[in-house]
Chain A
Amino acid sequence: MNRLPKSPDLSREAGTPKIRLRGLCKGFGPKRVLDGVDLDVAQGESVVVIGGSGTGKSVLLKCIIGLMRPDAGSVEVDGVEVSGLRGAALDDVRRKFGMLFQGAALFDSLPVWENVAFGLIEGRGMARTEARESALRDLARVGLDEDVAGLSPAELSGGMKKRVGLARAIATKPEILFFDEPTTGLDPIMSDVINDLIVKCTRELGATAVSITHDMASARKIADRVAMLHGGRIVWQGPVADIDRSGSDFVEQFIHGRANGPIHVEAAAR
């Protein structure tokens, strides 16, 4: 049996990270999806979590955002434990967040501009006229003009939905941006456009970013640092420039898309 390596030592990092995960565990019935995840994300850093389908990347993201409650472990944002928060206290933390969902998750019942302005109107109490102006500026930042503002989400293409989702994510000028499989379902050119927009918007805001993907082209483009999730734990992490010489069999197999390797061996052994 191929044993998983221990999580990398994080004690070398100085100061309080923007996000700090320690011993994060989450299971569903007998299946343990996260089994002691340790991860630090520094202020202004862009970390991409890679891993195969079903390895718990989305669960990890949902535990950080508070959409799922971890079974054990700690989630700190700016040094404050957030995993047990509820109600108004959790809402206060979430005001620091912006998120682009895998399918964009635009509200069907609202036009594009109201989707983008939703966090400003409902979350910040901004007047609708002012929020509309702000939404139009954010749409322009992701390359969409005013004509799109009045459309319904059902009238948009996949790439446009992602752009609107990105505009909604940045509308409240969040400190931390989360991207859930930002390029899934898009053609390579549109994927690159979305990746460029993610990099641009994150830099302009000076935000910290956590993304999950299994698209290596996307990971290489948007990451400062990459962490690989497998078997419920981070099995490797390091600067994106080091990913091709990671020394990890898991990473090697994953980035080259090989059928044979430790990941396959473990799946077969079950």
Chain B
Amino acid sequence: MVEAAAAFLAAIGRTTLNFFAVAGRLTTFAGRSIAASVRPPFYPRLIAAQMVQIGYFSLPVVGLTALFTGMVLALQIFLGSARFNAESAVASIVVIGITRELGPVIAGLMVAGRVGAAIAAEIGTMRVTEQIDALETLSTDPFRYLVAPRLLAAAVTLPVLVLIGDLVGVFGAYLVGVYKLGFSPATYIQNTMDFLETIDVVSGLVKASVFGFLIALMGCYHGYYSRGGAQGVGAATTLAVVSASILLLSADYVMTELFFVQ
């Protein structure tokens, strides 16, 4: 009985120590990454290449998900608001919902799946094939050469992606509103513009930038510390997507409180 209790306590202790070890390592990694992102040398060619990878090649997936999200949102809000005769609020609720929440969150989750995994796999493969060691022996800091360009590119391009996603999502809702639900085009657009405030869009773009940073950070972190060949790289990829998604949603709550709750 005593032994079982001791083993239970030991397991709790181990888990707690592991948690703090990982938290400490992640904090240190984030600190080194941020320092590498703001101090020269910078690698504009690599940053541009990553912006294309992260931003341009994510456009189809972000655009399609935003389009269908806007369409579904318009339909659901119309059906829900019909219960208390508030159908006219569809346009305003859709635009606020998309710009404040759904645009950045859906784009963030899509990019986490597509880009976070790719970053972890690429850097993880470089780790297990000693390419990162080779970088260091060539007097090149892997944080500046590998991590910083990805962090900067993701933090800059995700707001652009989200802005495009917002427009596509609102357009999807407009299509459903006008052609399916019978709203007049002019009224729908008027309602959209009347209730949209600058803070709605700005808060979404700030969230997107933070999400981009978190997605790239998790991809780089799990890739950088991957071990054990192909299996280790696979595990790093999964962990990058899962941890980025969880961090993204929790950061979303915190930022929503900061922006909108007095």
Contacts and interface: CB of A to CB of B under 8 A. Distances in A.
Given A108-B125, A122-B145, A101 B139 contact: no
Contacts of A66: 136
A91 B137 CA distance: 8
B130 A102 contact: yes
A172 B137 CA distance: 12
B136 A94 contact: yes
A178 B134 CA distance: 12
B131 A107 contact: yes
Interface string B120-137: 000001100111011111
A28 to B, nearest CB: 12
Interface in A76-127: 91-92, 94-95, 97-99, 101-103, 105-108, 118-119, 122-123
A245 B134 CA distance: 37
B2 interface: no
A251 B162 CA distance: 65
Interface extent on B, as a size class? 10 to 19
Contacts of B131: 105-108
Contact of B133 (A91, A101, A123): A101
Nearest to A124: B139
B76 interface: no
Contacts of B141: 91
Contact of A67 (B129, B136, B138, B145): B136
Contacts, number: 54
Interface string B207-239: 000000000000000000000000000000000
A97 B135 CA distance: 12
A67 B133 contact: yes
B140 A67 contact: no
Interface extent on A, as a size class? 20 to 34
A65 to B, nearest CB: 6
A107 B46 CA distance: 14
A105 B130 CA distance: 5
The binding surface of chain A is classed by DSSP as mixed
Contacts of A94: 136-139
B139 A123 contact: yes
Nearest to A67: B133
Given A91-B139, A94-B139, A95-B139, A107 B134 contact: yes
Contacts of B130: 101-103, 105
Contact of B137 (A67, A92, A106, A107): A67
Interface in A106-150: 106-108, 118-119, 122-123
A67 to B, nearest CB: 5
Most buried by A among B138, B140, B141, B145: B138
Contacts of B138: 94, 118-119, 122-123, 168, 172
A106 B131 CA distance: 6
A92 B130 CA distance: 21
B225 to A, nearest CB: 15
B134 A105 contact: yes
Contacts of A122: 138-140, 145
Contacts of B135: 107
B137 A103 contact: no
B125 A65 contact: no
A119 B133 contact: no
B37 to A, nearest CB: 16
A101 B131 CA distance: 9
Most buried by A among B134, B141, B145: B134
Interface in B38-94: none
B133 A105 contact: yes
B165 to A, nearest CB: 28
Contacts of B129: 103, 105
A29 B126 CA distance: 25
Interface string B137-160: 111110001000000000000000
A119 B136 contact: no
B173 to A, nearest CB: 40
B187 to A, nearest CB: 52
Nearest to A178: B137
Nearest to A68: B133
A204 B133 CA distance: 26
Contact of A123 (B125, B126, B140): B140
Contacts of A92: 139
Given A101-B130, A101-B134, 9 more contacts: A62-B133, A67-B137, A91-B139, A92-B139, A102-B130, A119-B138, A119-B139, A123-B139, A168-B134
7 contacts: A92-B139, A94-B136, A105-B134, A106-B134, A108-B125, A123-B138, A123-B139
Interface of B: 125-126, 129-131, 133-141, 145
**7 residue pairs, one from A and one from B, having the closest CB atoms:** A105-B134, A105-B130, A91-B139, A123-B139, A119-B138, A99-B137, A94-B139
